[in-house]
């Protein structure tokens, strides 16, 4: 399943030249991963109550072009790989108007307990859901 949402570029997302600051893309990608989990039926609060936290362990990001003030960007998020201990999200941010890609990223997350101890495997029900997403992706 690919989760897709739109975000307008506001002044607070840009630098003095009206170009999107590089950190804004990271914030939008975080929003995409959170909404992806929500679409699977689990909010961050529910996961926290289950003692599951999902920190980012690595990001490979390619900045390809710059979004600008008042653009509308489309953030696409899907699970592209699942290895039991970690899951990789493929994320693309593009222009709604032109389809031009601004950013492509692979974001690897792991699962930890609230005391920061690493789980040996991403716990259920997320493990099964992430595995299913990799084997049978369905675009929505």
72-81 pLDDT per residue, tens:
999 999 999 9
Show the tokens assigned to 64.
């390809």
Mean pLDDT of 22-48: 95
- CA distances (Å), origin 73, targets 19, 26, 86, 87, 91: 13, 13, 28, 25, 13
**Residue tagged active-site, from 13, 15, 71, 106:** 15
Q: Which CATH class is domain 3-135?
A: alpha beta
Q: Which residue has the higher pLDDT, 111 or 1?
A: 111
Residue 138: pLDDT band with limits 50, 70, 90 = low
| Domain segments of the chain as ranges | 3-135
pLDDT reported for residue 1: 84
Confidence of residue 140 (pLDDT cuts 50, 70, 90): very low
Q: Does pLDDT of 11 surpass 90?
A: yes
What Rg, from alpha-carbon coordinates, does the chain have?
16
Q: Using a pLDDT cut of 70, give the percent of the chain over it.
A: 96
pLDDT at res. 42: 93
15 is catalytic: yes
- Please check the confidence at residue 13 and state whether its pLDDT lies above 50: yes
For residues 12 and 18, give the distance between their C-alpha atoms in angstroms, rounded to a whole number: 10
Return the pLDDT at 137.
58
- Over residues 18-31, the mean pLDDT reads 96
């Amino acid at each position: 399943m690919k989760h897709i949402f739109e975000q307008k570029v506001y002044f607070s997302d840009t630098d003095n030249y009206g170009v999107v600051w590089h950190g804004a893309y990271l914030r939008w990608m975080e929003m995409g991963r959170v909404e992806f989990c929500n679409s699977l039926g689990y909010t961050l609060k529910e996961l926290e109550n289950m003692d599951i936290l999902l920190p980012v362990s690595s990001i490979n990001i390619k900045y390809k072009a710059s979004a600008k003030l008042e653009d509308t960007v489309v953030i696409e998020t899907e699970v592209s790989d699942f290895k039991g201990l970690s899951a990789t999200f493929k994320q693309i941010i593009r222009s709604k108007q032109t389809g031009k890609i601004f950013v492509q990223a692979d974001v690897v997350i792991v699962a930890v307990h609230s005391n920061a101890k690493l789980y040996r495997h991403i716990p259920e029900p997320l493990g099964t859901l992430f595995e299913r997403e990799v084997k049978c992706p369905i675009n929505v």
